[in-house]
Amino acid sequence: MYCLVTGAAGFIGGHLVERLLADGHSVIGIDNVYKNYKDYTWYTIDLVKEKNLEKYFRGIDWVFHLAGRSDIVPSITQPSAYHDVNVTGTVRVLEACRKAHVKRFVYIASSTCYGDHPPIPTPETAPIDPKFPYALTKYIGELYALHWARVYKLPVVSLRLFNVYGPRSRASEEYGPVFSTLLAQKLAGKPFTVVGDGTQKRDFTYVSDVVEAVVLAAKSRVVGEVFNVGTGHPQSVNRLVELLGGQRRVHIPKRPGEPEVTQADITKIKKVLGWSPKISFEEGVKIVLAHINDWKDAPVWTPATIKKATKDWFRYLK
């Protein structure tokens, strides 16, 4: 297949590109940062500002839309920027795909749309209750994608991802995911910062399992459907720290609006797409530790810097 991946320079996007190439597909990568790749075609463009976006999608079979702004804290202080990229950018990509008559469109959505008190485990039919601009804009992007499926018959599938981790995961400049934060601290020999008492659980899902779900969605004939992608077996932050091993822990205050547990109900994706996770949490952490140097340049968060970075979180949501 001829494939196009937006957000190809990102964590999941990069792993997806590698998988598509390994499967023998032709790939075009699009992102707003420059990359010099020899194995496939790369375009450095801004999806919001590019004037002739359709030309990149002509002749494409599968489109994977991963481009977007992530992280909760900066979305609270920059809501318009998040809307521009996650909503306007998505609509522009959908229109380019419609005009180019692409054969499959896979939208990468977020489980944050369920809010901080969803039913556990959380099915796709759970009430939608986004608490932050990031969660809201990702959900609006999903609504647009599903609307294009209904109105324009664009063959769309949306995947709501839960807590993805693995080698080369993001290290945010403003506030990083728990895996990146703890790994950078481990490399620097600093104490692990644990939010609250560390008993909160997350549905950590290894990146290769996520990529497998994305590929299966592209291969399927399902249209206009939403699927959770998780393990269904959440793990505590304390368990993660235990597996990472080594340093002492420093506890910092809980942040308002964070769920105690995230747990995907994956009954639907198992039944319809035949997908199930393969990598156990213990195996996944072991693989991540084998690639720990991926985080050698990540910002090292201390209790003081985390408190400073999350001041807007407390200001708006306490």
Catalytic site positions:
134
3-state secondary structure 88-138: HHHHHHHHHHHHHCCCEEEEEEEHHHHCCCCCCCECCCCCCCCCCHHHHHH
Pairing assessment for the beta strands 201-202 and 235-236 based on DSSP bridges: antiparallel
- Give the Å distances, CA to CA, from 165 to 47, 170, 211: 26, 9, 12
- Give the Å distances, CA to CA, from 167 to 83, 188, 252, 285, 293: 29, 18, 26, 10, 9
Q: What secondary structure letter does DSSP report for 9?
A: T
- Which residues lie closer than 8 Å to 52 by C-beta, 6 or more apart? none
* The pair of three-digit structure tokens given for residue 159, joined into one six-digit string: 């995947």
Q: Is 189 left (phi over 0), alpha (psi -120 to 50) or beta?
A: left
Q: What are phi and psi of 92, to 5 degrees?
A: -65, -40
